[in-house]
Amino acid sequence: MKKVFIIICLVFLFGCNFEKIQNKNFEEKKQNNSKILKIEDNIGKGKENLENIEEKEKKFDINKKIELKIISEFQNQKIEIPNFMFHYIEDVPKNTKDKLRYNLSYSPEKFEELLKYLDENKIETLTFWDLKEILEGKKDLPDKSVILGFDDGHLDHYTRAFPLLKKYNKKGVFFIVSSFPENDQNYMNWKQILEMQDNGQEIGGHSFSHPNLTTIDKNLLQKEILDSKKEIEEKIGKKIISFAYPIGKYNDLVLEYTKKEYLFGRTTKFGDFIDTNNLFTIPTIRINPETSIKSLEKYFTKKK
């Protein structure tokens, strides 16, 4: 009887130990599986991050040159797309001593009236990226369209023009002098410029320091036109394709340098069309404080 009792106790103890071993093995297996899942998860995330980085690199390669291939339909053509040129979007008193600032200004109220007119008359605002797609046959040419260009990167472009453009779902092209952001509080900073780009506005080049480009040598032209372009691209994370000549001055050498990296050059010469044979001397219509909506209507009437 005593032997039977001892055997029963041994069997019971063995069973308990066996269960503990099984539980321990199960927990170890569970932990190992958890570690494997974590490793696989990390590998997956690493792969995902790598794919994101590769995708980002595909979207923006600062050294990759952007090309324009014009389809036959638009070769040797003058396209009716007027370019409006703005500087200050602010109310400047007519009797101010700063006559230049007054002549370069356009009030926010008038600017909003213009945007309302464009909206009501189904006139599409284009960027030079849009123009590129049109010339390549990737986008239809609208019946009525306009390019709204803003020179110099003034702070009021962000505080006054940008909110109105968003309100009416319109686009503009903002030509930036690359040495101005962060160095002069009268001009936009890079964060503001990037915000505008992220909301559909185009960023273009306008030199490094806004000189008369026809008076400087090749070394300075490199800095003013090409180096400034690269600086802007690095700041905004995107290639830029349009350049506005400071004070409208250019010559053959300036055109030569602009053509090295840009696709379009905008002048200050008067004109209401884009000549596909002369995409580096695109004319413009200067908007001044006296410009009325009535005076602009003729640019949206198709010529017979």
Q: Domain-by-domain residue ranges, the chain?
A: 1-59, 72-298
Best CA proximity match to 287, nearest among 133, 161, 131: 161
| pLDDT number for residue 65 | 85
| pLDDT number for residue 61 | 74
What band does 60 get if pLDDT is binned at 50, 70 and 90? low
At residue 9, does pLDDT exceed 90? no
| pLDDT number for residue 302 | 64
| pLDDT number for residue 232 | 98
- Provide the percentage of residues in the chain whose pLDDT is more than 70: 79
123-180 residue pLDDT tens: 999 999 999 999 999 999 999 999 999 999 999 999 999 999 999 999 999 999 999 9
48: phi then psi, degrees, rounded to nearest 5? -65, -45
At residue 3, does pLDDT exceed 60? no
| pLDDT number for residue 56 | 46
At residue 37, does pLDDT exceed 50? no
Q: Give the distance, in angstroms, between the CA of residue 34 and the centroid of all CA atoms in the same chain.
A: 45
- CATH architecture of the domain formed by 72-298: Alpha-Beta Barrel (3.20)
Whole-prediction pTM value?
Answer: 0.81
Task: Tell me the three-class secondary structure of 228-251, residue by residue.
Answer: HHHHHHHHHCCCCCEEECHHHCCC
What band does 33 get if pLDDT is binned at 50, 70 and 90? low
Task: Tell me the three-class secondary structure of 1-39, residue by residue.
Answer: CHHHHHHHHHHHHHHHHHHHHHHHHHHHHHHHHHHHHHH
- Tell me the average pLDDT across 182-201: 98
| Helix ranges (DSSP H) in 177-227 | 190-198, 218-221
CA dihedral 108→113→116→120, nearest 10 degrees, is: -170
DSSP 67-85: -----GGGTT-EE---EEE
Best CA proximity match to 227, nearest among 187, 179, 191, 275: 179
Could you tell me which residue, 190 or 36, shows the higher pLDDT?
A: 190
What SS3 class is residue 196? helix
Long-range Cβ pairs for the range 136-139 (8 Å, 24+): 136/68, 136/69, 136/70, 136/71, 137/71, 137/73, 137/74
Instruction: Say if residues 264 and 279 touch (Cβ distance below 8 Å).
Output: yes
What band does 294 get if pLDDT is binned at 50, 70 and 90? very high
87-110 residue pLDDT tens: 999 999 999 999 999 999 999 999
